[in-house]
């Protein structure tokens, strides 16, 4: 196998000796948030159907969503939407052939991650301190 190779150039890197890159994380997170948002969107459909069914169906669901577990879920959903949105735009830019240099891709990956952290905090602050009811 290795002896059959005419030279000693490195073969494809193995997972165990692969350095962690932010672009790797950004790619994995895009798929993970997409998967999570799939589940969340099914929840959105159930929420709309509960609203149409009336208060007796809607109120228990809303009690859950306003409770601690529901609030954590909603916070994570907003973060996932922010991430998938920003990284999706990043990928649309990649599709044009722009921004693919490692330094640029690293920078935009970090920007996307920071955006996903900032957005739910911003929305929470707007709802809590923004003076809107």
Partner 1 sequence: MSGPERSMRTPLGRVRHHGAAGEGTGHFIAQRWTAIALALLAPWFVVNAALSIGGGSYTAVIDFLTDPVNAVGVILLVAVSFYHMALGMQEIIADYIHKPFSKIALLLLNAFVPFVLAAGAVFAVLLVNFGA
**In the complex, which residues of this chain contact partner 1 (CB under 8 A)?**
31, 34-35, 37-38, 41-42, 44-46, 48-49, 51-53, 55, 58-59, 62, 65-66, 78, 81, 85, 88-89, 91-92, 95, 123, 126-127, 132-133
Q: How far is the CB of 79 from partner 1 (least distance, A)?
A: 11
Q: Of 44 and 104, which CB lies nearer to partner 1 in the complex structure?
A: 44
User: What's the min distance (Å) between Cβ of 55 and partner 1?
Assistant: 5
Q: In whole angstroms, what is the distance from residue 78 CA to residue 36 CA? A: 11
Query: Could you tell me the two tokens for 46?
Result: 């159930």
Residue whose tokens read 């891709």 = 105
The distance of closest approach from Cβ of residue 9 to partner 1 in the complex, given in angstroms and rounded to an integer, is 28
What's the closest the beta carbon of residue 113 comes to partner 1, in angstroms? 18
Burial class (CB in 10 A: 0-12, 13-18, 19+), 33: buried
End-to-end CA distance of the chain: 69
């Amino acid at each position: 196998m290795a002896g059959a190779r005419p030279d000693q150039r490195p073969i494809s890197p193995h997972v165990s000796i692969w350095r962690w890159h932010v672009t790797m994380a950004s790619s994995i997170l895009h798929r993970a948030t997409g998967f999570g948002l799939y589940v969340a969107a099914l929840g959105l459909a159930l929420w709309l159907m509960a609203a149409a069914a009336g208060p007796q169906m809607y109120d228990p669901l809303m009690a859950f969503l306003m409770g601690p577990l529901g609030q954590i879920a909603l916070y994570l959903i907003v973060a996932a939407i922010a991430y998938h949105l920003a990284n999706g735009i990043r990928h649309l830019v990649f599709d044009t052939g722009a921004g693919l240099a490692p330094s640029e891709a690293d920078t935009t990956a970090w920007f996307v991650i920071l955006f996903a952290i900032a957005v739910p905090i911003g929305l929470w602050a707007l709802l809590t301190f923004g003076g809107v009811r």
